[in-house]
Amino acid sequence: MKATSVLDILEETAARYPDKAAFIDDRETYTYGQLMDNARSFGSGLLQALCGETHRPVMLFMDKSVKCVAAMLGTLYSGNFYVPMDVKTPIERLNSILETLGNAFVITTAGELTLLQKAGYTGETAIYEELVEVGQGHDSREALSSIRSGIVDTDLMYVLFTSGSTGVPKGVAVMHRSVVDYIEAFIREVPVDEDDIFGNQAPFYADMSLKDIYMSIKTGATVCIIPQKLFMSPKKLLQFLDDRNVTALMWVPTAYRLISQFDALSKVRPRNLRKFLFSGEAMPISVYRYWIQLYPVAVWIQQYGPTEITGACTSFRLPRVYEEGETIPIGKPFPNTGILLLDEEDEEIAKSDTERTGEICVYGSCLAAGYYNNPEKTKEVFVQNPAVKGYPSLMYRTGDLAKYDADGNLVFISRKDYQIKHAGKRVELGEIEAAAMSIPALKACCCVQNRSKDALCLYYIGEISDREIIEGLSSRLPKYMIPTVYHKQDGLPTLSNGKLDRKQIDGWANESSNV
């Protein structure tokens, strides 16, 4: 029988592997049996604290840890939905999110309570450890069983907050059904099993963490939570992976690039790595080639999908080594997922038409329920599927541009947000970056526009001169698309989820002293 929620999947795996390590952080380890028991105890304690209320948002002000995973699952046991939060969130953003949620109940740990207080939060909180203790001392089996039997797959499971174009965070609300379907589709596309040990990079408030957390719970694999500080020290990071026998990585390309930038694999090469997944941004060919020369027989998979479609909606298993100047496709839709490529008139682009670029639009059970407490923004991007007549059928407009290759795979081009007017012409900043990254000596880059002077500025990492970059781009781009301003950097800023911080770089380019 198909699972209604991830709790069904957890209990099935805990029954098969009760004593197997499920999640490991730098302080403790939970086996699958302990994970389920702690989740139930927390759910019981939370239910007491909420006086039996259900369907409420429960904010988890907790850094990624085994306790945080138990709190997520325990929140679901209590009949509520969780909202994971960055413990470094400024008070203004925290208050904005709490205002959007309306009646959130805030959970933190004894160790992180001080961080919450330092942030300036003065509202009601509950401590994870205390709720677990309360739950252990109270027999709530009947109440939890009643809640479980009442869960339907369209109930909310979590809300993840992403940045908003207006400066107000958007809460992507995702249902149980979407995650269960995502798990099933992912497992069909990726060879994951109980022998795998995942090296978790993504923070739990980012949708990429779904791969680590729920694919492991489904298969009985182990998740080793990597301390964030190690990503500042590539050699120590690789030693960490080797010491813990990590077999699989599901990272953003920027994390892979940090290793290649410092040639860290020449110093420490983890022996057990055999599966590599990447998504969230384009993988530079030079970075991919650096890794694959040392792991030539490993499985390499690129996936694509915004938070609004529950983690990923396309997958592409790399069949060969890609050369400089090529682009790795993002692949074809997951099972039970539909994708339309629509032109500016909302006409569908045929797979045989490999020259035209369109917006990726996704439909199916993978879609989020919408933006929490934000019907206006929801209506903007969750719209009627133009291919369906006669009844309501929503699709999500991703804002991402792509085209088809000769094999019917989608090839990511750019964000519509990165589409600018320059020199009177429409320019895709992502296309400029893709062309620049095909130059072997260039390790990373970001192209932005100085709007006051209509200048294209390229910020880059690499031992290469501006003239060499210009020469490399001249054979790949029309003259009007070649940047005129170049800034060599030791590093490029990243967000807490590991992706490039384009907003900060855009700020550099548009400071009054620049250009």
**Alpha-carbon distance 347 to 342, whole Å?**
5
Query: Which two structure tokens, joined as six digits, stand for 237?
Result: 């990071």
Structural domains of the chain, with CATH: 6-225 (3.40.50.12780), 438-509 (3.30.300.30)
Q: Where do the DSSP E strands lie in 6-122?
A: 21-24, 29-31, 57-61, 81-85, 105-108
Element (H, E) at 158: strand 156-162
Q: What is the DSSP string of 301-316?
A: EEEE--GGGTS-SEEE
What is the pLDDT, as a whole number, of residue 100? 94
Neighbours of 281 (CB within 10 A): 17
Q: Scan for tokens 């290469």, then name that residue.
A: 464
For the chain, list residues with pLDDT below 50: 165-167, 513
Nearest-angstrom CA–CA distance, 53 and 72: 17
Helices (H), ranges, 244-336: 253-261, 285-292
Do residues 460 and 437 touch, judged by C-beta distance below 8 A? no
Facing residues of 61 across strands?
A: 85, 108
What region, left, alpha or beta, does residue 264 occupy, with left being phi > 0 and alpha being psi -120 to 50 degrees? alpha
Q: Which of 513, 436, 508 is nearest to 472 (CA)?
A: 436
3-state class (DSSP) for residue 252: coil
Q: Give the pLDDT of residue 164.
A: 54
Residues 6+ apart with CB under 8 A from 145: none
Residue 276, strand partner residues? 249, 300
The torsion angle over the Cα atoms of residues 241, 242, 246 and 249, rounded to 10 degrees, is: 50
The alpha-carbon radius of gyration of the chain (Å, integer) is 23
Question: What is the model's pLDDT at position 165?
Answer: 47
The torsion defined by the Cα of 395, 396, 401 and 406, in degrees rounded to 10, comes to: -40
At 163 the pLDDT is: 65
Q: Is 222 helix (H, G, I), strand (E, B) or coil?
A: strand
Question: What was the pLDDT predicted at 515?
Answer: 55
Contact residues for 478 (Cβ-Cβ < 8 A; gap 6+): none
Q: What is the 3-state secondary structure (H, E, C) of 167-201?
A: CCCEEEEEEHHHHHHHHHHHHHHCCCCCCCEEEEC
Tokens encoding 83: 């909202």
| Residue labelled with tokens 């206006």 | 376
